[in-house]
Homo-oligomer: A and B are copies of this chain.
Amino acid sequence: MTDARETLRLIYFDFPFWRAEASRLALHIGGVEFEDVRPGREEFRAMKASGELPYGQLPVLDVDGVRIAQSVAIARFCGKRAGLYPESDVDQARVDELLDTATQITSLLTPSFKESDPERRAALRANLVARDLPQWFGFLEARLLANGDGGFLVGDQLTIADLLFWKLLGWFSGGLLDGIPKTVLDGQPHLRAHFDTIDSLPEVREWMERHYGSPS
């Protein structure tokens, strides 16, 4: 899977948001060497001002000097290199569907992130907890169950989709988002179990300890 002559350089902030963390972790699990560049805010501003970021945002991935942007495109590429992307076109599409769903679920937060009024913001978050998140996590629970008892989202092996949702669901249920309780996954026991399975993989534990000195 890995081309030994290829040079990979992944650029993102020094925090474990899914937009780059699923890609970094995939490369780590796959034993693929890459330059793990973590700019600070000032460096990011300078990059943005220089016009070197195709859409003014991170992450970007340089593959032998060819710059690729967009989190999900990068995650798919890293999944391929790490052996964490399926072989068949249909299973690839099933993984792709889930990656796009991660983007859609993340976008549910946009209105509340943009809302500066604390009361309106709290109301938006309450609505998410009461309505949108149970609906979307329910969709995911159904997708997981439709894949059988193997514990993975697609097929019977770990894919980039599992890593990406581990990060996404950990973010939503980690108590870091105002108004979203740690119990937000409690209505979806299989999805919760999926999170715990990925979270306890030795390579995941090792990576999180090394970079963030933290249990999850």
A72 to B80 Cα, complex, angstroms = 18
A99 to B71 Cα, complex, angstroms = 12
Assess whether B93 is in contact with A76, with CB atoms less than 8 Å apart. Answer: yes
Cβ of A153 to closest chain B Cβ, rounded Å: 12
Chain A contact surface mostly: helix
Can you offer 17 A-B residue contacts whose CB atoms are under 8 A?
A51-B142, A54-B139, A54-B142, A55-B101, A56-B135, A56-B139, A63-B90, A66-B90, A68-B90, A69-B97, A69-B101, A70-B100, A70-B104, A73-B93, A77-B96, A81-B89, A110-B110
- Contacts A70-B96, A72-B96 supplied; 16 other A-B pairs, CB < 8 Å: A54-B139, A66-B90, A68-B93, A68-B97, A69-B101, A70-B104, A73-B97, A73-B100, A74-B93, A76-B93, A77-B89, A77-B92, A80-B89, A103-B103, A107-B110, A111-B114
